[in-house]
Structure 1
């Protein structure tokens, strides 16, 4: 497989050179990408599940305050027998089989995560939805310059901008743009690429 060539655009949207992207990451065929759709789906679902807090809880009859005394004697009143005013059939009673705190994490092997990321990056590259932008920001952060550089490429659509950790000025320039989700390259994941 030959490397994928991506155009570099400048702040005015003009081509300013090219970048070679590795074919094993960006050059997978559409047929292979479609064949591995279930893998991508599984990784995205696992990532969304892991983001859940899982602190939901309700009180059962043992946790609800009160109800220690039998409300009336067992026999002789003509009423139905009751042992506690916190039993589940009572108003203000405990909840039966309610939600308890739990973890929603799914174990996803590293190789599956890496493969899913490769497939979605190749899908975006095949669709022409990956762009390399030279922000032209040197010493001082400038959101105005970043917006000018991104607008010709994105048409103000929601965009994920991937930066290296050395690009602090670029990060400070794009972090406040409402239509931009900025992420460092070492944090890039399948979900962020799918939603971009």
Structure 2
């Protein structure tokens, strides 16, 4: 995994007050441009009111009287002066109120934000300040001076803590500067800004929340490692009960357990492991012995060592307990 990025922390006077690490899982990931575009378009669409409306011919006032008689005037026949071809008439297929909102999953929005921040961080456009100003009196001039030490670019995005009312009040009146709380940070505003400036507290708050949405690549591997194969213990118990003539110990040790209790999967060539002679079919939940009329035509999904093991797994004898087998036996006797 990539190493964390390290940036300097500047005080309001522009002097270095320390360093801070930007987690690579948030500030150094691959930038997915199509994903960012989709999220930004969805955010802009959500801001549309959708209250546009045009009246059709049934909604326009007037037009109830036929303007002239049907025949004898030499003019085209008309039924209403509010038809679309007349001035003041209704609009055909005009806009109607609608909701432009798009469904954007939280994971998509989080991934797009990580990609946008990573793009800014890789180009040295993510900065951290210990505070926007000193003292307890709001001062836009003081914040302007602080930001001038951080970046000389025009459009800045300043991120402060939710409790930092002093910094928010002092920054919100600066031209070309947008102020957000840490929990309001979004992809659109990051892409709109040339530089992103965090206060130390805002960065800490943002990272603590954003880290919860970072996908963990080891989850699937851990889940696979902890999940025991179904029926593995039952296969081992069944193998121990089989005699050496039915299933040699060397063969039992190499078989793979099946999906059912006491079953094993066929070998790579489709044949049965040594000592397993009962064919099982998971779709019908029936098993076939070697004397079954369908034994040669049935493809085994699993194999059992004994009929007792097959019955214990919930399978039934396809010959002795199946109406189809009785019918087949009658046809063979004829």
For the aligned pair, the TM-score class normalised by the smaller chain equals over 0.9
Counterparts of 2:133 and 2:184, CA distance in 1: 24
Distance 2:126 2:93 in 1: 48
Counterparts of residues 82-161 of structure 1 (less than 5 Å)? 82-133=78-129, 134-155=131-152, 157-161=154-158
- The residue number in structure 1 matching 2:324 is none
| 3-state SS in 2 of match to 1:56 | coil
The answer to whether the Cα contact below 8 Å between 2:28 and 2:121 also exists between their aligned partners in 1 is yes
Q: C-alpha offsets along residues 84-120 of structure 1, whole Å, 9 cap, x if unaligned?
A: 0000011111111111111111111110000000111
For the 8 Å contact 2:157–2:180, the answer to whether it is kept is yes
Normalised by the length of structure 1, the TM-score is 0.93
Q: Does 1:54 align with 2:50?
A: yes
Q: Which residue of 2 aligns with 1:12?
A: 13
Q: Does 1:193 align with 2:210?
A: no
Q: Does 1:22 align with 2:28?
A: no
Please list the CA deviations of residues 3-26 of structure 1 after superposition, one character each: whole Å capped at 9, or x if unmatched: 222211122322111122222111
The alpha carbon displacement at 1:156 in A equals: 5.3
Q: Which has the larger radius of gyration?
A: 2
Q: Deviations over 1:48-106 (max 9, x none)?
A: 11111211111111111100111112122222110000000111111111111111111
Point out where structure 1 has 5 or more consecutive residues left out of the alignment: none
SS across alignment from 1:131: strand
**Equivalents in 2 of 1:116, 1:159: separation in Å?**
19
Which has the bigger relative contact order, CA under 8 A and spacing at least 6? 1
Mapped to 2, the partners of 1:10 and 1:42 lie a distance apart of: 37
CA-to-aligned-CA distance 1:15-54 (integer Å, 9 cap, x gap): 11112222211122xxx22xx1111111111111111121
- Counterparts of 2:12 and 2:134, CA distance in 1: 10
Between the two proteins, the alignment pairs up a number of residues equal to 191
